[in-house]
Amino acid sequence: MSADLWGYAESSGHVPGDTLIGYAVEATDGGIGKVDRHTEDVGRSYLVVDTGPWILGHKVVLPAGLVDRQNETVHVTCTKEHVRGSPDFESGQNEHDVTFIRLVEQYYANRHM
């Protein structure tokens, strides 16, 4: 797996141990939801974003490498449409599924913006 994609960049503003839960999440072209939870696992850090009414009942996983934190808002370096097309996340099923993690990695590593 690409370590850059799954780790918080030094420039992201993320401080280990700080919570991002409840922060607004903004794509390059607008809001996509709120942080439901996040991890700080070395080499596999990510956010789970609840997209709320925007994509009803949909949660997505965003690799930590996409994160730029400012003023209780997490900015991600992708568009709303790209997030909309991301693999569906199901709590309790996908967190430790290597196949799912690789699918997410491939999806975001090969995006065209």
Q: Which amino acid is at 63?
A: P
Decide if 41 is inside a domain.
yes
- Give tens-digit pLDDT for 40-94: 888 889 889 998 877 767 888 888 888 888 888 888 888 898 888 888 887 767 7
Decide if 3 is inside a domain.
no
Question: Which pLDDT score is estimated for 1?
Answer: 45
Percentage above 70 pLDDT, the chain? 89
Decide if 1 is inside a domain.
no
Residue 91 is part of which domain span? 10-109
Give how many domains the chain has, as a whole number: 1
Decide if 2 is inside a domain.
no
pTM: 0.78
- CATH code of the domain in which 71 resides: 3.90.50.10
Decide if 15 is inside a domain.
yes
For residue 113, name the pLDDT band (cuts at 50, 70, 90): very low
User: Looking at 28-99, which runs of residues are DSSP E strands?
Assistant: 30-38, 46-50, 59-63, 67-70, 73-76
For residue 28, name the pLDDT band (cuts at 50, 70, 90): very high
> What is the rounded CA–CA span in Å between residue 107 and residue 2?
12
